[in-house]
A and B are shown apart, each in its own frame.
Chain A
Amino acid sequence: MLLGDRAKFVMLLGGVTFAALLMLQQASVFCGLLTWTTSHITNLQARVWVVEAKVEQANELKPLRDTDVSRVRSVDGVGWAVPLYIGITNARLSDGNFKPILLVGLDSATLVGRPATVLGGRLEDLRKPNSIFIDDLALQRLRTPGGPAPGIGDSFEINDREARVVGICKADRAFFGYPYVFTTYDQALQFAPRQRKMLSASLVEPADGWTAEATARKIERETGLKAYTHDEFFWATIRWYFKNTGIPISFGTTILLGIIVGIAISGQTFYTFVLENLRHLGALKAMGAGNLLLSGMLVFQALFVGFTGYGVGMLAAVAFGTGAIKRGQPPFVMPWQLPAGVFLLILLICLLAALIGILKVTRLEPAVVFRG
């Protein structure tokens, strides 16, 4: 019945598709944004992070004393510990423009925390004076207007010091949208504006036989610093953004809007469809169709629209996501839980819409078909 009523079918399908797209796209952007907030953790891949005692999340590192690395190293359960510098500073391009960058200083000896994917150059060259690795985002952000993208051998200034590009790597985007610039810890201290304390964190590998959790707790007890395992730091950062920013409310409102629009459009259209077909449904009832059969028909039609609408919405969201990933923004991450959750929500919306029709049909007297 519904499939033959093209206008209503298209309207229902449109409503469900729009709802699915809105929920999937917005939730994926939200997940992507959360991923950006944890980019330091995913890019540097340390098993334990030791930070200042009041640090709650990865984008708000308070400086430590250089000697704190030694204190961490002296704790039982620590295999090794290296210093790390992370800070936002400015790069001065050849045309005189300043661009913000995320400067990362890695331990000179071990280069622990180095980027996982090198697109060009040799990491060992970082040990040469004034050397830096830039990430793929820097190719866009640090190019002069009309000029070529920066490449190996090019140079620019960081705090009046020459920084020469010796390699290009791939890195997850940071929440602030600035490109990552990797160098050694010692070199980073030269590039960064001088402060009393310069150490951002210490990256730690547990000793043999120690778990990351046990090592972190031991470090906290013995140094008074805060130690997070990789997962603890990741989720602490996510939780912080949930609690302290309007991002979840903003995205949550849009997702809620998707659900409401889905329920409103599909519910109203489905109800109108049932009302307009009341005589036919009454005729079927008079001919001996039971409530169960008619309810089953309505549920089947609602689910058919739901599955189709979800499929189309999913395709549209994936198309958007593919474009976003190619462009690099907006952030887009779709973990499997997301399509699964949206699928269940769409199912719920369709069943709710069917339920409205079912209530009408079950109360329908078959005698209605004889009334003029």
Chain B
Amino acid sequence: MSQDAATQPTAIQVSGLTKAFGKGNARTMALKDTSFDAREGDLQLIVGPSGCGKTTLLSVIAGTLVPDTGEVIVFGEPLHAMRSAAVTRFRRRYIGFIFQQFNLIPTLTLAENVSIPLLLAGSGTSKAERAATAMLDRVGLAGREKNHPRQLSGGQQQRVAIARALVHDPRLLICDEPTSALDRETGHQIMEILRDIARKPGRSVIVVTHDPRVYEFADRIAEMEDGRVLRQLEGAAMADVSL
């Protein structure tokens, strides 16, 4: 935990969330009237078995999936009540994404990949690429800006993804299994970077993971099962995480 929990403002407040996929007999409830919250300054993990609804919850929090019912408030903005275009603008401005498979565009250079969020926000190309180069320096990839993703190892690609997620200075970082494709040591390095980001004022980092090796980096852990958040643990209680 970065500071006293009582003084930390709420970053995310989710309540009464339901989401179903499919129709008729094929209808599956991915989220069942579940609630969840996250604080600024925290790195919070969402853990649970496959199919428990972790990714669906993450998608709803990120504003990439519309819930059937319930409220999603992120930094005071009610995403559930906003129009699609407004949610897109919100994501563009306030959210950074780190994906399990990195999702770097293979035909673009590292600098071009990292500058995408700035270009989407309306920055000029040269300004965006300067900022991207500086961000690549910060994640330990100085001098590699002209390289392409295929020239990098998995860990290096994930660093590029982190640089891309951070380049526009977002308040919320959404990470989907960021260490699953990495070895233990690289995974730890990545988690340290994410924890440092969470410590910055007004920031919050949400990580969906299956990887128990990274639990030690969490400020809070939300345990999910069968479409519901069973409990949110912090401090010494996190040692009780059963999944």
Contacts and interface: CB of A to CB of B under 8 A. Distances in A.
Contacts, number: 66
Given A4-B107, A370-B58, A370-B59, A289 B120 contact: yes
Interface stretch (A79-87, A208-216, A276-284): A276-284
Given A284-B116, A370-B64, A279 B100 contact: no
Contacts of B108: 1, 4
Given A4-B107, A371-B55, A286 B97 contact: yes
Interface residues of B, number: 28
Interface in B104-163: 105-108, 116-117, 120-121
Interface stretch (A45-53, A178-186, A361-369): A361-369
A3 interface: yes
Contacts of B88: 288, 290
B47 interface: no
Interface string A111-154: 00000000000000000000000000000000000000000000
A340 interface: no
A370 to B, nearest CB: 5
Interface in A242-292: 279-280, 282-290
Interface size band for A: 20 to 34
A372 interface: yes
Given A4-B108, A366-B64, A369-B64, A287 B100 contact: no
A160 interface: no
Contacts of B100: 370, 372
Contacts of B105: 1, 280
Interface string A340-371: 00000000000000000000000001110111
Contacts of A283: 97, 99, 103
A4 B65 CA distance: 30
A95 interface: no
B99 A369 contact: yes
A295 to B, nearest CB: 14
A287 B92 contact: yes
Contacts of B65: 365-367
B6 interface: no
Interface of B: 55-56, 58-59, 62, 64-65, 85, 88-89, 91-93, 95, 97, 99-101, 103, 105-108, 116-117, 120-121, 176
Interface of A: 1, 3-5, 279-280, 282-290, 293, 365-367, 369-372
Given A5-B107, A288-B92, A288-B117, 20 more contacts: A1-B105, A4-B108, A279-B103, A282-B103, A283-B97, A286-B64, A286-B91, A287-B116, A288-B91, A288-B93, A365-B65, A366-B91, A367-B62, A369-B64, A369-B99, A369-B103, A370-B55, A370-B58, A370-B176, A372-B100
